Structure 1
Amino acid sequence: MFKHLSIIALLFCIAAGSHAETTCDDCTESLAPRLWIPDGDPATDVLPLKASHADIRINGPIAEVTVTQHYSNAGKRAINARYVFPGSTHSAVHGLTMKIGARIVKAKIEEKQQAEHLFAKAQQEGKRAALMTQQRPNVFMMDVANIMPGDDVELKLTYSELLVPEQGVYELVYPTVVGPRYGSDPLQVARDAAWIANPYAKDAGDSRNPAATETRINLSIDSPIALKDLQSVQHKIETKWQNDKSATVSLAGSETQPGNRDFILRFRLQDEQIVSGLMTYSQGAENYFLMMAEPPARVQSGQVMNREYLFVVDVSGSMIGFPLDTTKQLMTRLLSALKPTESFNILFFAGDARVLSPEPLTATPEHIQQALGMMSAYNGGGGTELINALTQAYAMPRKPDVARSLVVVTDGYVSAEREAYTLIADNLNDSNLFAFGIGSSVNRHLIESMAKAGAGEPFIVTGEKEVDAVSARFRRTIEAPLLSNIAVSGKDVDIYDQEPKNIPLMLAERPIVIFGKYRSTSDQAVIELQGQSANGVYHVAMPLAEASCDSRAELLPVLWARNRLTRLADMAGNEMESNRDEIVKLGLGYSLLTPYTAFIAVDEVVANAAKQAENVQQPLPLPQGVSEYALASQPMPEPEFYWLIVMLMALIAANSLRKSQPHV
C-alpha cells in the first residue's frame, strides 16, 4: 500500500515541480546528462566532432568499411576530447590513421596498457595524439589530445566483416549510435564508467547533439551473381546501377538526421543462390581458408519433439514507447502462431521479474488471451536486470520429454554481456536460446552473442513494419532441422586452427561458415564437411585447386583472427582473463583491436606548449524511438495500478488546462 501511495506522491511532485523547472536560472541537474563545463565558455562547449563519413565496399560476401571522423576546434582553448561510437558486432578493426593539416600519422597496435601510457605521455607533453580502445566488441572509444584552436583533425579507421545470409538474405549493418546501458552492479559501472557514463543530448536542436552532425554513407557492391531486392531498412537511399551485379548506394538528400539509427542494407542473389564454396589465401608461411556450405533441406514436422517456449520479455525504462509497443505486437504474433500441442510461459523483467504462470500453459486461445492481457498492462519502467531474469527462467521446472527454447525479447541496453553468455552456455544442455532485439539501434552484440551462446538464432526488429516478417521467419527457423555431428576433415591436407573450434548444431536456413588454416603439397587436396541430418548423412567436398583466391581473399587472415577472438574474448565470460596472452598475441600479430590491445597515434611535434587543455566529452544522441527514461532507472509500478497513474496524469493535465483558461 505504501509503495502505491509513493507512486501517487511522486506524480504530484512531478506536477508541482514542472513550472519550477522552466523558471530556474541554473538548472544544471535538469539538463543532465548533457555535457556541463563549470566555467561555461560557449566557444569551448561546442565539441570538436563535426562529421562522420562511412565508405563501404561489399565484394562478394566480404565487406570492408572505412569510417572517417572530422574534428574541428572552433573555440579559443586547447581540447582533450572523448567520443564513444559503435561498430558492427562482427567487425575486425585493423587500421587507424590520424591526419592534422597535411601531417598524417599511422596508428600502431600496442598492448592496451602501453598504448594508454603512450597517450597520457603525449598529452602531458602537449603533443597531438589519438587513442582507440574497445569497450565492447561493438562499442569503441576514441580519445584525442591537444586539439588546438583552429585544428582540423581527421581520424580514419578501417574494419572488415563477413556477411552471412539468412534465408538467402544478406545484411550489412553500419551502426551509427551507441544506446545507453543500464548496469546495477557498482563494480561493473566503475569499470565501464568511461563509456557508460558518457553524456547523452536529449534535444535534437542542441548544437552539441551529434544527431545534427553531418553523417554520410557511400556504399559500393560487387557480386559474382546478379543482385536483387536491394533495399535500405531505415534510411532513404539513392541507388545507381552499373549492371545487374554492381551498384553504388548513398543516402538520399531528404535524410537530415541519419545518425540516430543503424544503417541497414539488405539484398538477395538471383535465383536465391548463396555464395558458397571455398576461398583461400596465403600470408607468410600460413595458408588460410574460408568454407561456406549451404545446409540440407528441412525435415518433416512429425520428426520434431514436442516444444515448449519460455519468453523472457524486457519491460524496463528503455523500452518505453516505440520499443515496448513493437514488443507487444511481436508477442501477439509469436503467441498466436503457437500450436495447441505446444506449451509456453512468459517472464516479464525490469528491476525485478514476474511470471505469467507458475507452470507452462498449453497454447490454447484462452491461455494466449490471458498472456496478451498481462502483456498489455506493462508500459515500461525500472532497470534492466537481465541476469536475474535469465537465472529465474533457467530455474523454472520442465518436463524431460519436452524440447524447451528460451526466447529473449529486449533492446539489449544492459552492461552485463559476458555474465549473460556464461549463464547461457552453462545451461546449453537444458535449453537453446533465441534472441529478439527491438529498436532502431539495438545492442546487436548482446542479441547476437546470446543467440550464438544458446545455439539459437538472433532476430532484429527495427520497426513495426517488420513484425510480421520477422515473427514468420522465427516460426520457420524453429521448425527447421538441425545438422548435428558436423566435422571438417581433409584429404591430402592437414587442417588446423579451425574456427569455430567445435561446430554447434546448425539451423537449416543458414549456411555453415568455417575458417581455418591448412598445410598441403598435393594438387588433389580436398577439404570435406560432413554431418548428420534427419534425412541421413550430409557431405560436401571442395577441392583446394578450385578454391577462389582473388582480392576478397586478402582479408581472410584478419577475419580468421576475428573469429578466433569471438571464442577467446566475446563469449569467454569470466574466463576471458585466462585467455589474455593469446588475445594479445592475436591483436599484435594481426594488427587487430581487442579488449587488451589498442591503436595509438602520436604526432611528435609539440603543438600545445602551455600544456593546458579542457577535458570534454562528446554527447551521444539517443537512438531513434528510445525514451529518455533509458537514462535513469525508474521503479516499475505493478500492472494493475497503471490505470491509477493514467487517471492521475489526466487529472493533472485537466487542472493545468483549467488554470490556463481566462476567468469569466
Structure 2
Amino acid sequence: MKTNAGLENEYGQSVALKSVHLDGRIDGLLLTMKVRQSYLNDSEETIEASYTFPAGWGANLLSFSVELNGKRMQAVALEKKKAEKKYEKAISEGDTPVMLEKSPLGLYTANLGNLKAGESAVIEIEYAQLLRFESGRLRVTVPTVIGQRYGDEVEQGHIAPHQGVDVDALIEYPFTARIDVIGTTANGVITCPSHQAVTTAVEGGKRIELTKGGMLDRDFVLSIDELDGVSFALAAVDEEEYAVVASFCPKLPQQVAMPLALKILVDCSGSMAGESIEQAQEALHELSLRLSPDDAISYSKFGSTVEHTSNQLEKALSSTFKLSFAQAYEQGCDLLLITDGDVWDIEETVVQAKR
C-alpha cells in the first residue's frame, strides 16, 4: 500500500486529491461553509491518502460526510484513540474508512484508507464561523493552503508524522468557490481581492462566484465595505429555546487621531520574489500616504538572496520585539509584519509580543 497526498504532476508523481470546492453563505455575521474535496485513485494500486488543510479562524466543525461509489455516509464524533482504532481495524479488514482529525493548531487532516484503483471519493466538511465587524467592513478570509513554515512541525506544531505538510509549488490543485451573501450584509460593496470573481443577484442577496478557475495557492478573500451604521441580528431555534447573535456599531463623535508609533518588519528573503514583494511594496506605498508629521516609524528588513541556512523569520521576530523595549513599554507601539512566511512555534511569538 502507498501513502499519497497530492495529484499527478509533470514528473508522474501520482496522488489522490483532484479538486476542492467552497460553497458558503454569509447571513449577518455568520459564515457557514461547505468544503468539498474530490479524490480519485488514478494509479494501479490501492492507496491510503491523507490531506492536511486549514480552516477559518475560530471556525467550528458542524458535520463531516463522504460519498464513496455513489453512497453517502455521515460521520460521528468519537474519542480520538477510539476513532484511530476503528480506522485501523477497518483498513485491515479491507474496508474504505475515512477519518477527520484536528490538530492543536486548528489544522484538519482527512485520512482516506483503502481507496482502490479507479475509485473516487468526495469528502464534505461543513463549518461555521462568526465574522468580525470592524470600521464598517467585513473581511472574510478562507484559508485554502498551508504554506511553508519554519521550525519543527512535530515538536513545535504538534503535527503527527502522518499529518505532515509537504509544500510543492509544482503541484496544482483546481479550486472553485461560490458564496451567497444574504440580508443587510448584501447591501455593502462586495469585492474579491484574491481572485477574479463575478457578483450576481439572487433571492435575498448576492452571489459571488469565481469567473476563472483558481488554484490552492492563496487564501480566498472577500471584502464587504460601506456597512457603516449597519446592525446585525440572527436567531435560530435551539431545542426548546432560542439562540440569538446580535451586533451593532454605534457612530461615535470623531476624535483627534493620536500620533502613530509603528515598527515595520518586511521580509525580503528569496521566497518573496515576484508577486509577494510587489504586494509588499504596494502596502508600504499606501502606508506612506497615510502618515502624518507626528507619526514615529521604524523600518527593518530581513532575508537572504543566497539560501535559507537558518530560521531568519524567527530571529527577526525575536530581535524586533526587543528593539527599544523600554520606550515601547512606556509609550506603546504597533508592529506591522509583511511576509509570506510562517512559523510553527507561533505561541512563543505571541508570548514575546505581549511582554
With normalisation by structure 2, the TM-score equals 0.82
* 1:389–1:114 Cα change, 3 Å: farther
**Which residue is equivalent to 2:230?**
274
* 1:275–1:423 Cα change, 3 Å: same
Whether the 8 Å CA contact 2:148–2:341 is kept in 1: the answer is: no
Q: 1:217 aligns with which of 177, 183, 198?
A: 177
The one-character-per-residue Cα deviations of 1:207-254 (angstroms, maximum 9, x if unpaired) are xx333x3x33222221146624222222222332136x51223222xx
Q: How far apart are the structure 2 equivalents of 1:297 and 1:116?
A: 53
**Which residue is equivalent to 2:77?**
109
Amino acid at match of 2:210: L
**Which residue is equivalent to 1:318?**
271
Q: CA deviation at 1:335?
A: 4.7
Q: Does 1:229 align with 2:189?
A: yes
**Which residue is equivalent to 2:134?**
166
**Which residue is equivalent to 2:299?**
346
Q: How far apart are the structure 2 equivalents of 1:231 and 1:163?
A: 16
Q: CA deviation at 1:122?
A: 1.9
Q: Does 1:261 align with 2:221?
A: no
**Which residue is equivalent to 1:293?**
248
Whether the 8 Å CA contact 1:320–1:380 is kept in 2: the answer is: no
What is the percentage of aligned positions where both structures have the same residue?
21
Q: How far apart are the structure 2 equivalents of 1:191 and 1:85?
A: 12
Q: How far apart are the structure 2 equivalents of 1:151 and 1:185?
A: 32
Q: CA deviation at 1:421?
A: 2.1
**Which residue is equivalent to 2:36?**
68
* 1:380–1:339 Cα change, 3 Å: farther
Q: How far apart are the structure 1 equivalents of 2:177 and 2:290?
A: 38
Amino acid at match of 1:422: V
Q: Does 1:393 align with 2:352?
A: no
Q: Does 1:250 align with 2:209?
A: yes
Any gaps of 5 or more consecutive residues in structure 1? Answer: 1-32, 204-208, 351-377, 428-664
3-state SS of 1:334 partner: helix
3-state SS of 2:216 partner: helix
* 1:387–1:111 Cα change, 3 Å: farther
Q: CA deviation at 1:145?
A: 0.3
Q: How far apart are the structure 1 equivalents of 2:292 and 2:15?
A: 55
Amino acid at match of 1:96: F
Amino acid at match of 1:188: Q
The one-character-per-residue Cα deviations of 1:82-123 (angstroms, maximum 9, x if unpaired) are 112232223212211122123322112223333223222222
Q: CA deviation at 1:323?
A: 1.8
* 1:157–1:191 Cα change, 3 Å: closer
Amino acid at match of 1:424: A
3-state SS of 2:321 partner: helix
**Which residue is equivalent to 2:25?**
57
3-state SS of 2:134 partner: coil
Q: Does 1:418 align with 2:343?
A: no
3-state SS of 1:420 partner: helix
Whether the 8 Å CA contact 1:230–1:268 is kept in 2: the answer is: yes
Q: How far apart are the structure 1 equivalents of 2:153 and 2:52?
A: 21
Whether the 8 Å CA contact 1:35–1:199 is kept in 2: the answer is: no
| Larger RCO of the pair (alpha carbons < 8 Å, separation 6+) | 1
* 1:85–1:222 Cα change, 3 Å: same
Whether the 8 Å CA contact 1:235–1:258 is kept in 2: the answer is: no
Q: How far apart are the structure 2 equivalents of 1:67 and 1:82?
A: 16
Q: 2:199 aligns with which of 230, 233, 239?
A: 239
Bigger Cα Rg: 1
* 1:74–1:310 Cα change, 3 Å: closer
* 1:322–1:112 Cα change, 3 Å: same
Note the 1:26-41 alignment, pairs <5 A: none
Q: How far apart are the structure 2 equivalents of 1:384 and 1:298?
A: 46
Q: How far apart are the structure 2 equivalents of 1:296 and 1:379?
A: 48
Q: 2:59 aligns with which of 67, 71, 91?
A: 91
Q: Does 1:330 align with 2:292?
A: no
Q: 1:406 aligns with which of 305, 312, 335?
A: 335
With normalisation by structure 1, the TM-score equals 0.47
3-state SS of 1:392 partner: helix
* 1:424–1:403 Cα change, 3 Å: closer
* 1:298–1:424 Cα change, 3 Å: farther
* 1:60–1:332 Cα change, 3 Å: closer
Q: How many residues align?
A: 346
Q: CA deviation at 1:142?
A: 1.3
Amino acid at match of 1:216: T
Amino acid at match of 1:121: K
Q: How far apart are the structure 1 equivalents of 2:181 and 2:138?
A: 12
3-state SS of 1:260 partner: coil
Whether the 8 Å CA contact 1:315–1:381 is kept in 2: the answer is: no
Q: How far apart are the structure 2 equivalents of 1:190 and 1:227?
A: 42
* 1:396–1:197 Cα change, 3 Å: same
* 1:323–1:301 Cα change, 3 Å: same
Amino acid at match of 1:259: L
The one-character-per-residue Cα deviations of 1:59-88 (angstroms, maximum 9, x if unpaired) are 222121111112122322111111122322
The one-character-per-residue Cα deviations of 1:180-228 (angstroms, maximum 9, x if unpaired) are 212168843784654454251x33xxxxx333x3x33222221146624
Any gaps of 5 or more consecutive residues in structure 2? Answer: none
Q: How far apart are the structure 2 equivalents of 1:248 and 1:307?
A: 39
Q: CA deviation at 1:261?
A: 2.6
Amino acid at match of 1:342: D
Q: How far apart are the structure 2 equivalents of 1:387 and 1:309?
A: 20
* 1:326–1:103 Cα change, 3 Å: closer
Instruction: Give 1 or 2: higher strand fraction.
Output: 2
Q: How far apart are the structure 1 equivalents of 2:153 and 2:118?
A: 42
3-state SS of 1:110 partner: coil
3-state SS of 2:149 partner: coil
* 1:296–1:275 Cα change, 3 Å: closer
Whether the 8 Å CA contact 2:6–2:15 is kept in 1: the answer is: no
Amino acid at match of 1:210: E
Q: How far apart are the structure 2 equivalents of 1:396 and 1:182?
A: 22
Q: How far apart are the structure 1 equivalents of 2:302 and 2:98?
A: 40
